[in-house]
Structure 1
Amino acid sequence: MDLSRFPIPRRARGIVAVVFAAFMAVYLLAMPLGSVMGVPVLGLQLVWVVPSLRRFRGMPLLAVQACAGYAAVLCYDTSVGILGFLAGSLLLSRLWTLAPVVAVSAAVIDSVRQGDVFDTANVTISMVLSSLVIYGLTRLTERVDEVHTTRLALAMAAVAEERLRIAAELNDGLGHGLTVIAQGTELALAEPPRTAEVIGEVVITARAALADARTASAGYRAMSLAPEITTARAMLSSAGVVAEVRVGHTEPLGLAGALLATVLRESVTEIVRRGTARTCVIETEEADGRMSLRVTDDGARTAADDGLGGLPRQVSDAGGVLTTGLTPGGHRTVTVTLPVPPETRPAPVPPPDGQVGAWGWPTLLHGDQAAYTVSVAVLASVVMGFSVKALLYVPGNVVPAVVCLAVIVVMQLRSVNGRRMWALTLMTLLTYLPVLAFGRAWLGIAGFLAGPILLAFPAPIAWPLVACVMTSVAVIGSVLGLPLPDTVNFTVSTLVTGLVVYGLVRLAQLVKELQNAREELARSAVLEERLRAARDLHDLLGHSLAAILLKCELARRLDPERARAELLDVLAMTAQAEADLRAVSGEHRDLSLTAEAGSARSVLTAAGIEVSLGLAHGALPAEVETALSAVLREAVTNVLRHSAARRCVIETLPESGGVRLRVRNDGVRSPEGRRGSSGIGNLTTRLTSLGGLMSAGAEDGWFELDAHVPRGGLGGPGTPARRSGAEAVR
């Protein structure tokens, strides 16, 4: 049965159910009449494994299991080994001290029934081993469920902790700066003779706060290469270049991410500037603590490092290498390799504290190491128990048998996992060669070969090999002249023992897989929170601080009466900036596109730029309006920072089944327009989440930024929407 297509918790329970059923099959084959009670015993045991049946666990269930188990033994002459199910359940409960009592009762019943000390010891050991396996597999399954169900909670806790850290950092710096700006502006309004002096101090504070916001944004963004890859793909697509991205690294990258992002941005910008490429491949790879980025395009004639400027030297200073070259096919490549020290990675998120089971029996210790501890402990008990059983029947000198069994125990505890052919070969020799000396006593060891085979090979190969091992046991049993029931028992036990070894090790591996996946989810969530903070710092708070700085500079040049009006605007903008700071710190805040358009007109007009504003976008869902408001903020910031504009046109309109925002300004300082920027990357990320697109470019002295969100990004019928822009403005 192939369980790989099922979710990991269901896969774990499937493995346990198969092992339990295999255990039961051994007892039923030995005594077919026992099937009358064997099936209920197995069904009752599954109550301890299936989470949906948890409410049935308790004293009544144990009482029913005890009745079923002893009825099968006393009334249907089933092997006392079936009592291992009852003892395993007791180990899982607060009545675990009664498990030895069940083992003693099993020994007494069998001794009365068989009268042979060795046979009684053999059966009792099997019963004890069964109970330990049942306990270990059930606990491992619980650990799988625990890790699986806490993965989202852990991610949310990690995000909350990161949000608090970001809030503390920003409030200590930017929060204090905004408070100083507000107090200084109020003082300038209250004491007109000191207006010029106080505004000068406010300007210094605003300029420092703006620099801090940009530095913090760059710092949060530098942790990841993902936003730059998104921006690069959008830029190439807008230029008609087919982009292929092959990501082979793990986020976050730490400080190396900033330099890698710069190389990617400048390389892609150069490709777009040349305008001759048709395809571009962006590849990342991480190995041995080093990260490689390669950008390949088909639009260059030489391998010159055009557009890279001083980047080779910066990469070299950081301990890396940046090279350019031509492939045999004539494609230009830019390759950069940088060390990514382990200390730049966030520390693993600790798993939740261990809990105590409902019945008081301790659950697993912390983490996947505890799962391996339980797995190895139970496996050691099983291997040593079977070793003792084998020694009971070894004729003559047992020392050679003890040596061989010691080697087998060590190999099993190392969990022969993976294609270690030398280990499988040695295990095969230890399985078959001692049969020549020890005969029947050694047939039970074949199960310890079946387990590693199941772990080492995929199912289509493993199961035929296990069938071959079982067949060999049956053949050897016939050659040794064993009775048919004994031969069948050894053959089936080979499969059961192999499944036990496989189940214990595989469940521990599943716990480890889930543990890694859970920590990766938490890391990804923290990374996403940092990127969100970087976007909001740049798009929200950065714009507000830039507007405050502009207004303060304007107020310094005006007479006291006109300066008062500008200072009142500064107070309002400071209040908005404080709200922006709360939003960056994790407090959700929707933006109004109409209000942002009005603010944009005010700021641009204060800068002496003529503004033409036309809003006809209609009602919009909150998330779409917030995204387009962020686009408008970035566009206005770019007009002020990167142009000598005298005129700016801002318009929205319904178009192509969606809504379009277009911002155009004259006074472009360079015919090539702006090079790649984090702001464009932020906006591309925002719009992509809504299925939108954005383009930006310069032509005939005008720069235009165009953003479009399709109707599919406008939400469903229940999505709240504000009044249309036309109604609000006109």
Structure 2
Amino acid sequence: MRGTARPIVGAVLASFAGVYVLAAPARTSGAARIGAAIALVAVVLGVQVVRVVSRDGRWRWGVPVQAAAAYAGVLAFGTSLGILGFVAGSLVLAGLWPLAVAVVGSAAVLGDADVTITCLLTGLVVYGLVRLADRADDTVAARLPLTMAAVARERLRISVELNRGLGEGLREISDGSRRAVERPEAIADVLGVARRSLNGARAAAADFRSMSLAPEASAARALLEAAGVQAEVRTGHREPLGPAGALLAMALREAVTDVVRVGTARNCLIETSEEDGFVQLRVVNDGVRTVERGAEGLEDAAQRVRAAGGAFSTGLEEDGRFAVDVSMKAGERPVSLPDRIAYRLSVGLLAAVLAGFSVKGLLMVPWGLEWAAAAAMLVLIGALQLLWASSGRPRVWGLILAVLSFAPVPLFGKAWLGVAGFLVGTLLVGVPGKYAVPLVAATMAGVGAGAWALGLGAAAVTNYVISTLVTGLVVYGLVRLARLVRDLRVAGEELARAATVQERLRAARDLHDLLGHSLAAILLKCELARRLADVDPARARAELDEVVAMAERAGKDLQTATGGDAELSLDGEARSARSVLTAAGVEVEMELAHGEVGDETSAVLSTVLREAVTNVLRHSAAKRCVITTARDGGTVRLVVENDGLDPGAPRTPPGSGIGNLATRLASFGGTLSARADGQGNFRVEAAVG
């Protein structure tokens, strides 16, 4: 989109200059003089094109040359005074407003009101088009800093929130463990802090993840398909949603869990939309239901949504499908580009151009009732032009503009011929190209026919036809560039929103994968130390010393979760895994053959190992765990297998850990598989090339 801005400006300015080139034979005589007049026009346009293609301040040195060429053309070859508008526009762009006013004043001295208005309008158009092109470039340039700033703000918010709770908890664990080395009775306090911190980390991870509805919809699809339900997800909302996203994600989880619990559905549709500041979530499934039992299990979600000012409803549709409908106000979206004046600038300039051309036409209408009627119709045309050119709807306005452009010509004569230029601009903006071109050609032909019918000469007929196109191009350029800047803004905002969402998900993954594991291990070690305090004080002290080391490592994990770089060693993590599993009574068999690996590979495989060990401790009754690493060429492979899976246990929804790890590995070009063998063993295998 960015690349189209300056070509649009160049085309409009060239069409302006073309009017003076075509008028040269009528304003001077002799091939040499005509050639000189055209050359001077080319110089004026050339300086303007240099400014269009480059924002380098050195272009200002060409303004005196442009001014000399413009005045030479006017004074020596009869070029229209309107060309001085190029000079006025350049001076305004250079910040030399007083000189621009002087140029317009000189046009008033040398000519009449009509040419003065033309000079002023040309200056406004030149300034407006070039500044809008600059805005398009500024908007593109702002996208990356905006995205980085959005991520930085999100990291700061995450850091403040986590350090206030989890950071203080880790410090308490570290200090308490040191005290407990000498005073075993203090272990109970450390255990309490560790439990609170672990719960806080898990809750924070869930909150960060659920603040974005789109990832939750993807997780819901996976859960439904794992349960044998064909899922279709249609996402039509914008991220991030903030607190509203958390409630909508919670409602989605409850609705999907209800579908799986009932167990009769074969198809499920998850759909989100956004309108007038409200986000709607709709979950529809074809499971067998009754009205009485339809909302079972969803009451808590409904109460929480309604308490926050949202709407929550359930019921059977006419086709027998069961639907859950949720609506929440999206709230403020903090991510936005700083420049908000481009569209206002374009509308203001368009209004000024419409007013200026209208005044030019009214100068040729006799004062009185006829003038009042013409003024009223021009005001109506201007209003319709602004509304339709900016929105493109409804198209019936185009028909009204066509009638108003031609019907009054017999009444007002040549004063009304210029109005058709507004119609051309509207057609170029609001009608598809394959229809716009013939319609524009027909409009120009209509103007030419009208001018000929009024008895105007060939030169005047040509001038009116060309001016119709030029006016239309001006309108098109102003509106098209405004839309371009608006579209670039939207694209930039969406990019920043997406980056913010990804940062939240990254924080959720790090909290779950890194800090959650560390806190779970700390809790386990503290519990072990409490049990050993009376029977084996020396070992209890050793366990507490390890808790202090773990708390320090967890502090680094917290830095990682708030935007820092992970400092994980696969060898060190393997030793930690052996210690934690052994403390939990799990026999560990370990064979490490990965050799030297890069920091990134070591960090990502360490994270996989942490999550796998955490799952062994939390989700199984394992007695034995095998941890192996190997290198196959440039690929490093990690396998963690345990025997704690009950083959007869009911299937449960997968947690977020495996999905987090798969996402993390994919970013490094790696793969992850996690599966049961049907005989009580569960195997996690990760490979990074």
Give the TM-score normalised by the residue count of structure 1: 0.84
Q: Aligned with 1:675: secondary structure?
A: coil
| In 2: Cα distance, 1:556 partner to 1:388 partner | 91
Opposite residue 382 of structure 1, the aligned amino acid is V
Q: Where do 1:181-330 residues align within 5 Å? A: 181-189=173-181, 191=182, 194-195=183-184, 197-231=185-219, 245-253=233-241, 254-263=245-254, 266=257, 283-287=271-275, 289-294=278-283, 311-317=297-303, 318=305, 319-322=311-314
Shift, 1:483, TM fit: 0.7
1:684 corresponds to? 662
| In 2: Cα distance, 1:311 partner to 1:539 partner | 30
1:97 corresponds to? 98
Q: Are 1:56 and 2:50 an aligned pair?
A: no
CA root-mean-square deviation: 3.0
Q: Are 1:465 and 2:439 an aligned pair?
A: yes
Relative to structure 1, the CA distance from residue 628 to residue 232 in structure 2 (aligned partners, 3 Å threshold; closer, same or farther) is: farther
2:122 corresponds to? 130
Shift, 1:459, TM fit: 1.6
| In 2: Cα distance, 1:233 partner to 1:26 partner | 62
| In 2: Cα distance, 1:334 partner to 1:615 partner | 53
1:12 corresponds to? 5
Q: Aligned with 1:651: secondary structure?
A: strand
Tell whether the 8 Å contact from 1:260 to 1:336 is kept in structure 2 after alignment. no
Instruction: Find the partner of 1:649 among 613, 622, 626.
Output: 626
Deviation string 1:670-726 (CA, Å, 9 cap, x unpaired) is 63454221222322321233344433343445242434446xxx3xxxxxxxxxxxx
| In 2: Cα distance, 1:483 partner to 1:668 partner | 96
Tell whether the 8 Å contact from 2:272 to 2:279 is kept in structure 1 after alignment. no
Shift, 1:606, TM fit: 0.6
Shift, 1:534, TM fit: 0.9
Q: Where do 1:547-696 residues align within 5 Å? A: 547-558=521-532, 559-654=536-631, 658-669=635-646, 671-672=649-650, 674-696=652-674
Deviation string 1:574-614 (CA, Å, 9 cap, x unpaired) is 11001111111111124222222221111000111001122
| In 2: Cα distance, 1:228 partner to 1:628 partner | 25
Relative to structure 1, the CA distance from residue 262 to residue 627 in structure 2 (aligned partners, 3 Å threshold; closer, same or farther) is: farther
| In 1: Cα distance, 2:168 partner to 2:208 partner | 20
| In 2: Cα distance, 1:445 partner to 1:295 partner | 54
1:40 corresponds to? 43
Deviation string 1:535-581 (CA, Å, 9 cap, x unpaired) is 11111111000000000000111121110111111111011001111
Shift, 1:335, TM fit: 4.8
| In 2: Cα distance, 1:655 partner to 1:334 partner | 52
Deviation string 1:313-335 (CA, Å, 9 cap, x unpaired) is 2343334245689989xxxx775
Shift, 1:374, TM fit: 1.7
Tell whether the 8 Å contact from 2:139 to 2:488 is kept in structure 1 after alignment. yes
1:82 corresponds to? 83
| In 1: Cα distance, 2:613 partner to 2:128 partner | 64
1:380 corresponds to? 351
Shift, 1:285, TM fit: 3.9
Relative to structure 1, the CA distance from residue 312 to residue 287 in structure 2 (aligned partners, 3 Å threshold; closer, same or farther) is: farther
Instruction: Find the partner of 1:481 among 455, 462, 465.
Output: 455
| In 2: Cα distance, 1:35 partner to 1:57 partner | 22
Tell whether the 8 Å contact from 1:47 to 1:54 is kept in structure 2 after alignment. no
Deviation string 1:32-64 (CA, Å, 9 cap, x unpaired) is 52321222221210222223x514222x22212
Shift, 1:471, TM fit: 0.8
Shift, 1:294, TM fit: 4.2
| In 1: Cα distance, 2:627 partner to 2:679 partner | 17
1:725 corresponds to? none
Opposite residue 249 of structure 2, the aligned amino acid is A
Q: Are 1:342 and 2:330 an aligned pair?
A: yes
| In 1: Cα distance, 2:347 partner to 2:219 partner | 49
| In 2: Cα distance, 1:147 partner to 1:208 partner | 46
2:22 corresponds to? 29
2:384 corresponds to? 411
Shift, 1:668, TM fit: 2.3
Q: Aligned with 2:365: secondary structure?
A: coil
Relative to structure 1, the CA distance from residue 551 to residue 280 in structure 2 (aligned partners, 3 Å threshold; closer, same or farther) is: same
Tell whether the 8 Å contact from 1:47 to 1:56 is kept in structure 2 after alignment. no
Opposite residue 47 of structure 2, the aligned amino acid is L
Deviation string 1:377-430 (CA, Å, 9 cap, x unpaired) is 222221121122112222463222122122223323435331323322221221
Tell whether the 8 Å contact from 2:232 to 2:270 is kept in structure 1 after alignment. yes
Opposite residue 84 of structure 1, the aligned amino acid is G
1:501 corresponds to? 475
Instruction: Find the partner of 2:149 among 157, 169, 172.
Output: 157
Relative to structure 1, the CA distance from residue 617 to residue 286 in structure 2 (aligned partners, 3 Å threshold; closer, same or farther) is: farther
Tell whether the 8 Å contact from 1:16 to 1:138 is kept in structure 2 after alignment. yes
Shift, 1:283, TM fit: 4.8
Which is worse superposed, 424-433 or 664-673? Answer: 664-673
| In 2: Cα distance, 1:203 partner to 1:287 partner | 48
| In 1: Cα distance, 2:605 partner to 2:259 partner | 25
Q: Aligned with 2:377: secondary structure?
A: helix
The number of aligned residues is 661
Tell whether the 8 Å contact from 1:614 to 1:650 is kept in structure 2 after alignment. yes
Shift, 1:141, TM fit: 1.5
Q: Are 1:401 and 2:389 an aligned pair?
A: no
Tell whether the 8 Å contact from 2:420 to 2:447 is kept in structure 1 after alignment. yes
Shift, 1:434, TM fit: 1.0
1:721 corresponds to? none
Instruction: Find the partner of 2:506 among 517, 523, 532.
Output: 532
Unaligned runs of 5+ in 2: 26-33, 306-310
Shift, 1:225, TM fit: 3.0
Tell whether the 8 Å contact from 2:424 to 2:440 is kept in structure 1 after alignment. yes
Relative to structure 1, the CA distance from residue 624 to residue 145 in structure 2 (aligned partners, 3 Å threshold; closer, same or farther) is: same
| In 1: Cα distance, 2:288 partner to 2:592 partner | 48
Shift, 1:505, TM fit: 1.8
Deviation string 1:629-682 (CA, Å, 9 cap, x unpaired) is 222211111111111111112223356984443322223256345422122232
Shift, 1:78, TM fit: 1.9
| In 1: Cα distance, 2:280 partner to 2:600 partner | 36
| In 2: Cα distance, 1:310 partner to 1:566 partner | 47
Shift, 1:134, TM fit: 0.7
Opposite residue 550 of structure 1, the aligned amino acid is L
Give the TM-score normalised by the residue count of structure 2: 0.88
| In 2: Cα distance, 1:25 partner to 1:578 partner | 70
Shift, 1:130, TM fit: 0.4
Tell whether the 8 Å contact from 2:227 to 2:260 is kept in structure 1 after alignment. no
| In 1: Cα distance, 2:458 partner to 2:451 partner | 8
Deviation string 1:182-215 (CA, Å, 9 cap, x unpaired) is 11111122x2xx21x1111101111111111111
Q: Are 1:445 and 2:419 an aligned pair?
A: yes
| In 2: Cα distance, 1:439 partner to 1:233 partner | 68
Tell whether the 8 Å contact from 2:40 to 2:69 is kept in structure 1 after alignment. yes
